[in-house]
Amino acid sequence: GQQLNQSPQSMFIQEGEDVSMNCTSSSIFNTWLWYKQDPGEGPVLLIALYKAGELTSNGRLTAQFGITRKDSFLNISASIPSDVGIYFCAGQLGAQKLVFGQGTRLTINP
Amino acid sequence: DAGVIQSPRHEVTEMGQEVTLRCKPISGHDYLFWYRQTMMRGLELLIYFNNNVPIDDSGMPEDRFSAKMPNASFSTLKIQPSEPRDSAVYFCASRRTVFYEQYFGPGTRLTVT
């Protein structure tokens, strides 16, 4: 079945540092989505990518849809305490279902 | 605009009891998804509906789980009888046909003792 490998599983950084995480798959996806989940809440959509090579920003967040359509990355610049949480990538392949990565848990030391 | 609404936010029940989780999708969204999240298995799709019709229930664990969508603004996920291994956070999500972006509710944390 389709699987997404998300890395790293966890990150411990200092406030102000930049963050980078990525997802790879053995399958080609038509859409990549990035979500953030805070404790006790549902995943919140951060960025949606629809075209191979597409680079999209949302404030301090930047995400790219890989040229091969099998990968995507998310960067966070100048991290702040409220960036703490779990980040998920999700890929869509034609059908209506999303395939989710295992998540990257971000911890920030002030 | 109101997001996806789920109730209750927390549910604690004893093994063998019936549990009903409720979801109100975002107005105008014609797809509705039910997910389960656990530490071990992450986010799992249980079932999804399009225009109130169940399309794919292959993720439903077993016959104890059932889901309905009687109208465009309401869906239920029922577990009968509940078991301790059903303890998890259950999310509802919705989207429009033309976009793949799913919007999640706050979830229902279910604990079965």
Determine the residue of chain A that is closest to B49 in CA distance. Answer: A96
Yes or no: say if A13 and A75 are a contact pair by the CB < 8 Å rule: no
B-chain residues near A97 (CB < 8 A): 45, 48, 56
Q: What token pair was written down for B48?
A: 């999804």
Q: Strand, coil or helix: what is B91? A: strand
- Tell me the C-alpha distance between B17 and B59, whole Å: 22
Tokens of A100: 């989710």
E strand or H helix at B45 = strand B42-50
The minimal CB distance from A42 to the residues B45, B99, B105 is found for B105
- Residue B42: list chain A partners with CB under 8 A: 100, 102-103
Could you give phi then psi for residue B63, rounded to 5 degrees? -65, -15
User: What is the rounded CA–CA span in Å between residue B63 and residue B58?
Assistant: 11
pLDDT, one tens digit per residue, over A37-88 is 999 999 999 999 999 999 999 999 999 999 999 999 999 999 999 999 999 9
Q: Most B CBs within 10 Å: which of A23, A86, A98, as the mutation test of the B interface?
A: A98
In this predicted structure, the answer to whether residue A2 has a pLDDT above a threshold of 70 is no
Nearest to A74 by CA among A45, A95, A96, A98: A45
Binning pLDDT at 50, 70 and 90, where does residue B98 land?
A: confident
Residue B98: how many CB atoms within 10 A of its CB? Answer: 7
User: pLDDT tens across A89-106, in order?
Assistant: 999 876 678 889 999 999
